[in-house]
């Protein structure tokens, strides 16, 4: 499995995902807004939780992989 890169992150922008971090934690059910480029390898992923409209940023390097959520299941539960 390859590292989660900026190209992988771009494919998930605008979608609901679970973010699996390298330390084993999972950030569940977030909407990816975009990527902020920093100097060097300090790129940030910007996301917003579904219940909260404030955006949050985490470094791209701490994300191991992203799991795409099925939007049909989320709409039925709401």
| Per-residue confidence (pLDDT) for residue 13, from 0 to 100 | 95
Rounded distance between C-alpha atoms, residue 73 and residue 21, angstroms: 24
**At CA 48, angle to CA 43 and CA 23, rounded to 5?**
55
Rounded distance between C-alpha atoms, residue 25 and residue 27, angstroms: 7
Strand, coil or helix: 23: coil
Walking along the chain (78 residues) 10 residues at a time, the average pLDDT comes out as: 82 94 95 88 90 88 92 57
Query: What pTM was computed for the model?
Result: 0.83
The residue extents of the domains of the chain are 6-77
CATH fold of 6-77, please? SH3 type barrels. (2.30.30)
Taking every pair of C-alpha atoms in the chain, what is the biggest distance, in angstroms?
42
- Listed in order, strand segments (DSSP E) in 1-78 are 16-21, 26-36, 44-49, 56-59, 63-68
């Amino acid at each position: 499995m390859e590292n989660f890169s900026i190209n992988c992150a771009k494919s998930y922008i605008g979608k609901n995902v679970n973010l699996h971090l390298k330390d084993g934690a999972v950030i569940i059910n977030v909407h990816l807004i975009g990527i902020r480029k920093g100097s060097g390898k300090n790129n940030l992923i910007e996301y917003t939780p579904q219940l909260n409209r404030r955006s949050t940023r985490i470094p791209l390097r701490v994300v191991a992989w992203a799991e795409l959520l099925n939007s049909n299941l989320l709409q039925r539960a709401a």
